[in-house]
Amino acid sequence: MKIIITEAQYSMLSNSIRRRFTPDDFEFINNEIPYIINTTRWTPDFNDFSRNVMQDLMHEFVLGRKGDEVEIEDNPDYGSMYDEDSLSSVFEMYLELVPFLKEEYKDSLYQAWKVKGRSR
């Protein structure tokens, strides 16, 4: 599976994303999405299923690839932790990719949703 973002789609991305997103990030997403699709709980509504997959994918992507962009705070009980506001901000920024990812993976998402629904 290979993500292809057209020049037109790329030009629609914010400068923040264009500066930060690398070919290795595409590779991470390509490697991660089959696992996320397989482990996401089936819902009767395909759009809900797709949204859950994309949220989980973006969560894994931000923590797995972009954690260095999130500010850290010291917590006396737990040690170093991600600052919630900073984590939310970084997460929101990368959600800009979701429409392109949904389009790229719509067939895989739909097939997985159908298969999971049949096994119920």
Domain ranges for the chain:
1-21+62-110
Give the model's pLDDT for residue 64.
Answer: 93
Asked whether 56 and 40 are in contact (CB, 8 A), the reply is yes
Quickly count: other Cβ atoms within 10 Å of residue 2's Cβ. 7
Give the model's pLDDT for residue 23.
Answer: 83
Asked whether 104 and 40 are in contact (CB, 8 A), the reply is no
Crossing angle of helices 23-39/46-65, nearest 10°?
A: 130
* 8-state DSSP, 66: S
Give the model's pLDDT for residue 2.
Answer: 61
Q: pLDDT below 50 — which residues of the chain?
A: none
Give the model's pLDDT for residue 62.
Answer: 95
pTM: 0.86
Locus of tokens 């990368």: 94
